Amino acid sequence: TGILTLRLLTMLYLIIFYVLSLAGYLTVSIEPLPHVVIGDTVTVKCNFQTDGNLREIVWFRVIEGGSAKQKIFTYDAMYNTSYSHLEDNRRQEDLVYQSTVRLPEVQMEDDGLYECHVGIYDRNSREKVILASGSIVLTVIVPPKSISVVAANSPAPFSRYEAQNFTLVCIVKGAKPAPMVYFKRDGELIDVVPTAKSPAGLRSSQVLTSRDIDDTKVQKSLSLLEQEGKLARLGQDGPDGPDGPDGPKQGQEQESMSVPKSTTEVIPETVVSREFPRWVQSSDPLYYFQHWQQVAGDGTMEVRAMLTWSLNPQLDNEALFSCEVNHPALSMPMQAEVTLAAPRGPKLTMSPSKAKVGDTVRITVQGFQLGPSASEVFPEPMFTWTKVGGRLLDGSEEHDGRELVLDRVPAELNGSMFRCTAQNPLGSTDTHTRLIVFGESVCGVLWFCICSVCSPLMFLFVCFCRQPKTKKRKRTIYW
C-alpha cells in the first residue's frame, strides 16, 4: 500500500510539472521597505521570475480602506509603453525582471498598501494570460513638529500655609507614530510612578518620602531680603493671612506709617519685598507620571505627558526640568526645558514719566530680576494691584493684570503708593511705586485763569487811555 501511494504521488507531481511547463510559471515578490520619513524619496522594487513571455506590469495603490485601487504605473509589452524604469537579465534560461516605482518627496497621503500585478502569456495560447501579484505596505513616519512645556492651572497663587501639588505638562504635536516622552531634572532622568489618574487629590503626606531640609537657599534669600530695601516689611500679611478679617487694614496702616516723606526722592520710587512660605517641608517628593494621546485631524498624534509632585519652593526654585522625546524619524532626542523660578524684583515702568493733573497714567510690569540660571519667570506669575491706605481710582480694592491704568489722575493722588503683588506657586513678591503728580493747586489754577483774562484788558487800557506827550514851546521874552 505504501509503495502504491508513493507511485501515485510521483505521477501526480509529474502531471502538475508537465502542465506548468506547458503553461509557464511566474513568481512575484516585492523587496521589503523600512519606515520612510516624510519628504524623502523612496523606490519600491517588484521582482518576478518567469520562463514565459511578459504581457504586462501594473502598479496599484490601495485607497479608501481597501475598497478601491488607484493605478499609478502600467507597462504593456504589446505596445511597449512604460512610465517607469524596467530592467531584465538572463539567468539560467529564465527571465528575471525588476520593475521599480519611484515616489519623490513622499507625504502623508502616500502612506498605505501598494500592489504589483504581473501577467505573462500562456505557452499554449496567446489569448490566455497568467497573473500573479505581490504587495507591500509603505509606512510614512513624521517627526514631531513642536514640543513645549507648560504648567497646569497657570497662573496660580502662592500657597503660604500648606504644600500644594504642581504639574508640568509636556505637549508634543505633529508626530507619527506617537513618540516616547520622558522627563529629566537637572540633566538626570526622573524615576516616575506611572498612574492612570491624576494624583491632584493626594495629600502631601501620601506623596512624599523623608529627606532632610536644605535651608541654604532660605538663609541666603533672607539675607538678601534684609539688604533690598527700607520697606522690606511692606506687604507682609498678618497672622490671619491676606484674606483675614484684619489682614488688609493692618497691612495698609503699617505701610502708610512706614512710607518716608521726602521732597528729593527719585520719581517713581520703587520698593521690593519678598515673601517665603510659612510652612516647612523637609522631604523629597515622588513623581507621578501620566500619559495621554489623541489623533489629530491630519493623521498625526498629539501627546501630553504630565509630571506631578508635591512642590517645595526651597528645593525646587531654580531647578531645571526638561522634557525629551525619542522618535524613529529623529537622529537625536528633541527636547524643551524650563527653569522653575519665583518672581523677584518686578521692574515697573510709568508712562508718562512725569504725570500731570488730568493725564492717563499707565504702570506696567516690564520684567523681573532673574537669577543666574533662569531666563524667565516660570510658571507665569499672576499680578494684583492695590493702593496702600485706600482704594484704587475707580473705587475697587484691587486690580488683576500686568498693567494698572489710572484715568485722568487728580491732584489728590500725588504721593500715593501703589503695590504690585507678583506670585506663582514658588513664591510671592511685592513691589511698591509712588505716584508723583505735577500741577498747580486749585487756587493757583484759578489765579492763573484770572490773570490770563485780565492781562489783555489792562494792556489795552494802558495803550488807549494814556495822554500823549506835547512838545513844549519855547518862549521869547523881549526886554
Q: What is the pLDDT of residues 228-237, one digit of tens each?
A: 333 333 333 3
Residues with Cβ within 8 Å of 448's Cβ and at least 6 positions away in sequence, in order, are: 440
Higher pLDDT, 210 or 250: 250
Locus of grid cell 511566474: 26
Q: Is the pLDDT at 26 greater than 90, yes or no?
A: no
Residue 291 lies in a domain: no
What is the gyration radius of the CA atoms in the chain, in angstroms?
A: 43
Locus of grid cell 512725569: 354
Residue 104 lies in a domain: yes
CB-neighbour burial class of residue 473 (10 A; exposed 0-12, middle 13-18, buried 19+): exposed
pLDDT number for residue 195? 81
Show the domain range for 420: 346-435
- Give the DSSP H/E element, type plus range, for residue 147: strand 146-151
pLDDT number for residue 91? 41
Given 90, 116, 141, the domain boundary residue is 141
Whether the CB-CB separation of 99 and 119 falls below 8 Å is answered with no
Look up residue 129 and give its three cell numbers.
494570460
Please tell me the distance from the alpha carbon of residue 238 to that of residue 244, in angstroms, as a whole number.
Answer: 8
Whether the CB-CB separation of 85 and 100 falls below 8 Å is answered with yes
Q: Is the pLDDT at 288 greater than 90, yes or no?
A: yes
- Asked whether the CA dihedral 214, 219, 222, 224 is positive or negative, the reply is negative
pLDDT number for residue 274? 56
Please tell me the distance from the alpha carbon of residue 319 to that of residue 217, in angstroms, as a whole number.
Answer: 12
pLDDT number for residue 168? 96
Given 141, 169, 203, the domain boundary residue is 141
Please tell me the distance from the alpha carbon of residue 148 to that of residue 338, in angstroms, as a whole number.
Answer: 9
pLDDT tens-digit map of 462-478: 445 444 444 444 444 44
Residue 4: phi and psi, rounded to 5, are -65, -40
Q: Is the peptide bond before 144 cis (omega within 30 degrees of 0)?
A: no
Residue 12 lies in a domain: no
pLDDT number for residue 388? 92
* Rounded percentage of the chain residues whose pLDDT exceeds 90: 39
Higher pLDDT, 28 or 368: 28
Please tell me the distance from the alpha carbon of residue 129 to that of residue 118, in angstroms, as a whole number.
Answer: 10
Residue 175 lies in a domain: no
Look up residue 43 and give its three cell numbers.
523606490
Select from 36, 115, 104 the least CA-distant residue to 68: 115
Given 123, 141, 159, the domain boundary residue is 141
Single-letter residue type at 21: S
pLDDT tens-digit map of 82-96: 444 434 443 434 567
pLDDT number for residue 292? 92
Q: What is the DSSP letter of 127?
A: T
Average pLDDT, the chain: 75
Locus of grid cell 478601491: 68
Which whole number is the average pLDDT over 407-414? 91
Residue 156 lies in a domain: no
Q: Is the pLDDT at 318 greater than 60, yes or no?
A: yes
Q: Give Cα 366 distance to the centre of its chain.
A: 21
Residue 185 lies in a domain: no
Q: Is the pLDDT at 131 greater than 50, yes or no?
A: yes
Q: Is the pLDDT at 115 greater than 80, yes or no?
A: yes
Q: Give Cα 357 distance to the centre of its chain.
A: 43
What's the CA angle centered on 14, arms 13 and 16, to 5 degrees? 65
Whether the CB-CB separation of 317 and 217 falls below 8 Å is answered with yes
Residue 394 lies in a domain: yes
| Domain CATH for 352 | 2.60.40.10
Q: Is the pLDDT at 163 greater than 70, yes or no?
A: yes
Q: Is the pLDDT at 16 greater than 50, yes or no?
A: yes
- Give the DSSP H/E element, type plus range, for residue 251: helix 247-258
Please tell me the distance from the alpha carbon of residue 450 to that of residue 156, in angstroms, as a whole number.
Answer: 56
437-438/140-141 β-pairing: unpaired
Whole-angstrom CA distances from 389 to 125, 234, 395, 428 are: 107, 12, 13, 21
Number of domains in the chain: 2
Single-letter residue type at 451: C
Q: Is the pLDDT at 217 greater than 70, yes or no?
A: no
Residue 151 lies in a domain: no
